Chains A and B, each alone.
Chain A
């Protein structure tokens, strides 16, 4: 009772031509399909080339200086040997820390407002629009703004001003991701909380925020990763320092600025230091991104 031998001639009316089910390699749509599949795969690989070549380059050029001295010593002077990026790393950590302290509370409270209190009000749509515009704000503008606002009034470049500038860049990301994360909390959780006799504040603090936490943390980490790599705002605010930071209201070194500064110097030792600083910075940003992914994934599988 094989079907194949009876092919086209003896087909019962209304029956289907089963020979059509066979795979035919020369059919145009098969060829087009295969070609497009290869094209997509090829372009995907191409898209990853920049990232991996940057990482490879950094490991190759910056990897040789990786060591304890890099993290503990001060930057070398012109023509000197050795040295490290200790004060720059510390400066970046302190300034990103200041920026996080400033932007996280404001950002999360803003996100709560947008998601919970006035999702459809005029105020909310204005705030949301402002945050979206601010996301695309060129970072140099944030630097100039804080220069005028903080540096000129304090009369000095400072780590504090650097932190303020970075916080302006972090704020919109945190607001928008916090709003999204809070909106993603299922409505039935809200109902459960209210049904248990929570006030709105209790529902938000005890149920909604804990449920949205992985999403909020993801946003914070992405914002921190972005801030850690910013150079332009720091040139106008924290400037640079060859020494360990002692007070928040004095200039401070940072990884981004040391890379910017040393990579243009004619001394091989300084250029090596710049490569090493680049590697450290990329590893920090990469680590934060991976951690953010991890948290986000956790929120979906839990």
Chain B
């Protein structure tokens, strides 16, 4: 089958480049294509008059883990949060471009961002379980969607899916806030997957966790990608190397006095780490590893 031909050409560094639609980006047929479930075509993203990100085009492969890496302030979290329209909460946020989810542009004015978020779930940097019992945390999304089936089964399924079941099955009705940081994060994952979203966004999910808990989350991500498409942001290059199938490197352009991030290079993780095409990527990866 066509192996990597859906990875778009890396965005060029020159700002003047017109950010071409990838020649093979056959997204417009309404169903998306076989491999990519999300296609980001970001021309520019503003917070007020501040241009935070520009020229970032990439196609996210279904049932794979895609990682965004790059220095602080390069906009990787911002891009991630645009994918389920979390940035809408930020005052002054403006998005110039398109993000297609299964062929539909989620920045179309007809789209309800609340409905988008029910299909594209999110796990945050800081574990943020609600101040309620473990059980109610997991069933939160189900109740929100008026789920009518067997809730008990769903809870067990979601907690098993996030590798937390054995640790909490005896205390489902205790507060989710009483768990350890790593357990809280897995509870948040269980809460996110209980409603079976198609895409799971994970914004530095391990940055507040110790190495053991980090390891568990990473193993979990590899397990979860069989059922979900995962897009993650990480500061930890080793982590990207360990878990990601595809990696996007973003860099922040400070030459013109502004701090605008953009996508430098995107492709299979091995290629990005072993044979980066762009100088910035090479410098960042070597600098970080030496």
Instruction: List the interface of chain A (C-beta within 8 A of B).
Output: 186, 188-199, 202, 206-207, 210-211, 302
Specify which chain A residues have a CB less than 8 angstroms from the CB of B98 in the assembled complex.
none
B86 A207 Cβ-Cβ under 8 A: no
**Stretch of B30-38, B102-110, B128-136, B224-232 at the chain-chain interface:** B128-136
> Using an 8 Å CB-CB cutoff, how does the interface string of B120-142 with A read, 1 for contact, 0 for none?
01101010111110000000110
Neighbour of B128 across the interface among A186, A197, A199, CB < 8 A:
A186
Q: How far is the CA of A207 from the CA of B136 in the complex (A)?
A: 11
Shortest Cβ distance from residue A118 to the other chain B in the assembled complex, whole angstroms: 12
**20 contacts across the A-B interface (CB closer than 8 A):** A188-B128, A189-B128, A190-B89, A191-B124, A191-B128, A192-B128, A195-B84, A195-B86, A195-B117, A195-B124, A196-B192, A197-B115, A197-B118, A198-B114, A202-B144, A206-B140, A206-B144, A210-B131, A210-B132, A302-B177
B86 A194 Cβ-Cβ under 8 A: yes
Question: Is residue B62 contacting chain A, with contact meaning CB distance below 8 A?
Answer: no
Q: How far is the CA of A302 from the CA of B132 in the complex (A)?
A: 10
> Using an 8 Å CB-CB cutoff, how does the interface string of B175-211 with A read, 1 for contact, 0 for none?
1010000000000100110010000000000000000
Specify which chain A residues have a CB less than 8 angstroms from the CB of B140 in the assembled complex.
196, 206
Specify which chain B residues have a CB less than 8 angstroms from the CB of A197 in the assembled complex.
114-115, 117-118, 141, 144-145, 195
**What's the tally of chain B residues with a CB closer than 8 Å to chain A?**
26
Shortest Cβ distance from residue B206 to the other chain A in the assembled complex, whole angstroms: 16
Q: How far is the CA of A192 from the CA of B124 in the complex (A)?
A: 8
B124 A194 Cβ-Cβ under 8 A: no
Closest A residue to B191 by beta carbon equals A196
Q: How far is the CA of A192 from the CA of B130 in the complex (A)?
A: 8
Q: How far is the CA of A202 from the CA of B126 in the complex (A)?
A: 22
Specify which chain A residues have a CB less than 8 angstroms from the CB of B192 in the assembled complex.
195-196
Shortest Cβ distance from residue A205 to the other chain B in the assembled complex, whole angstroms: 11
Specify which chain B residues have a CB less than 8 angstroms from the CB of A198 in the assembled complex.
114, 144
Specify which chain B residues have a CB less than 8 angstroms from the CB of A192 in the assembled complex.
124, 128-130, 188, 191
A196 B117 Cβ-Cβ under 8 A: yes
6 smallest CB-CB distances across A and B, nearest first, come from A197-B118, A195-B122, A188-B128, A197-B117, A192-B128, A211-B131
Closest B residue to A214 by beta carbon equals B131
Q: How far is the CA of A211 from the CA of B128 in the complex (A)?
A: 12
Specify which chain B residues have a CB less than 8 angstroms from the CB of A202 in the assembled complex.
144
Given A195-B122, A196-B121: 20 more A-B contacts, CB < 8 Å: A186-B128, A188-B124, A188-B128, A189-B131, A190-B89, A191-B86, A191-B89, A191-B124, A192-B129, A192-B188, A194-B86, A196-B140, A196-B191, A197-B114, A197-B141, A197-B195, A198-B114, A199-B114, A206-B140, A302-B131
> Using an 8 Å CB-CB cutoff, how does the interface string of B203-224 with A read, 1 for contact, 0 for none?
0000000000000000000000
Specify which chain A residues have a CB less than 8 angstroms from the CB of B188 in the assembled complex.
192
Specify which chain A residues have a CB less than 8 angstroms from the CB of B84 in the assembled complex.
195
Closest A residue to B125 by beta carbon equals A188
Closest A residue to B140 by beta carbon equals A196
Q: How far is the CA of A85 from the CA of B140 in the complex (A)?
A: 50
Neighbour of B130 across the interface among A194, A199, A211, CB < 8 A:
A211
Closest B residue to A120 by beta carbon equals B91
Q: How far is the CA of A3 from the CA of B227 in the complex (A)?
A: 70
Specify which chain A residues have a CB less than 8 angstroms from the CB of B121 in the assembled complex.
195-196
Q: How far is the CA of A67 from the CA of B126 in the complex (A)?
A: 56
Shortest Cβ distance from residue B180 to the other chain A in the assembled complex, whole angstroms: 16
Shortest Cβ distance from residue B130 to the other chain A in the assembled complex, whole angstroms: 6
Q: How far is the CA of A214 from the CA of B227 in the complex (A)?
A: 40
Closest A residue to B91 by beta carbon equals A120
Specify which chain A residues have a CB less than 8 angstroms from the CB of B191 in the assembled complex.
192, 196
Specify which chain B residues have a CB less than 8 angstroms from the CB of A210 in the assembled complex.
130-132
Q: How far is the CA of A199 from the CA of B128 in the complex (A)?
A: 18
Q: Which of A196, A199, A206, A207 has the most CB of B within 10 A?
A: A196
Q: How far is the CA of A302 from the CA of B145 in the complex (A)?
A: 28
Q: How far is the CA of A23 from the CA of B122 in the complex (A)?
A: 58
Closest A residue to B84 by beta carbon equals A195
Specify which chain B residues have a CB less than 8 angstroms from the CB of A195 in the assembled complex.
84, 86, 117, 121-122, 124, 192
B144 A196 Cβ-Cβ under 8 A: yes
Specify which chain B residues have a CB less than 8 angstroms from the CB of A193 in the assembled complex.
130
